[in-house]
Amino acid sequence: MAKRGYHHGNLRQALVDAALELIETKGPTGFTLSEAAKAAGVTPAAVYRHFQGREDLISEAALQGYEIFADLMEYAFAKGQPSALASFEATGRAYLAFARKYPGHYVAMFESGISINAKPELALVATRALGVLERASVDLSKHIAPEKRPPAQMVSAHIWAMCHGVVELFARASPGTKSPFPPEDLLETGIGIYLRGLGLVPPDK
């Protein structure tokens, strides 16, 4: 990996950027702080001016990833309005797009073992991202009597799990597990079947 160096004293971000590349190529446990420092063009000792250790560095990468992710989900939700269904489907597509465009962040967020409760700000932004799906769930269920509505938290958790499963199995998988269908189609049809089964959208939608 080429030495990247840093500008204007932004060593903290240079280390995060180096870690993201290492996470993408070697996995979250496949590199050392020394390697991150070397990629950023500084000595290992310099890392400890900004991070307590490798987990702290990965946690910052996850935090930045969640910030991008939450913004993307909110944008997708707004773009689908005023249709609640279109907004829901747009957030699903945004999930896949994020995983493809920001693989280092995605791994730091979901595959590094870092808890979203590692930092208060990490928990806050992760909750903001999930909140987009909860809002979509609430919008979709408004036509159902309150006592018959499925819990918005449950619906959003199921959709999140579906998005994550499609990403892990088919959007980032090895060639041997490729689906004959595009991941976007798998996710959209899966969401449609699920929502129709709950009565959140009419059968013909």
Structural domain containing residue 17: 11-47
Domain annotation covers residue 63: yes
Q: Are 85 and 138 members of one domain?
A: yes
Q: Are 109 and 79 members of one domain?
A: yes
Sequential pLDDT tens for the chain (205 residues): 444 444 445 889 999 999 999 999 999 989 998 999 999 988 888 888 899 889 999 999 999 999 999 999 999 999 988 888 888 889 999 999 999 999 999 999 999 999 888 889 999 999 999 899 999 999 888 888 888 899 999 999 999 999 999 998 888 765 556 677 888 899 999 999 999 898 888 776 5
Could you give the CA distance from residue 14 to residue 149 in angstroms, rounded to a whole number?
Answer: 47
Phi-psi region of 2 (alpha: psi -120 to 50; beta: other; left: phi over 0): beta
Global confidence as pTM: 0.86
Domain annotation covers residue 205: no
Reported in sequence order, the residue ranges of the chain that DSSP labels E, i.e. its strands, are none
Q: Are 107 and 139 members of one domain?
A: yes
Could you give the CA distance from residue 75 to residue 62 in angstroms, rounded to a whole number?
Answer: 20
Task: Identify the CA nearest to 200 among candidates 151, 137, 157, 153.
Answer: 137
The tokens 């950023």 sit on which residue? 40
Q: Are 84 and 36 members of one domain?
A: no
Q: Are 40 and 68 members of one domain?
A: no
Task: Identify the CA nearest to 106 among candidates 47, 168, 166, 156.
Answer: 168
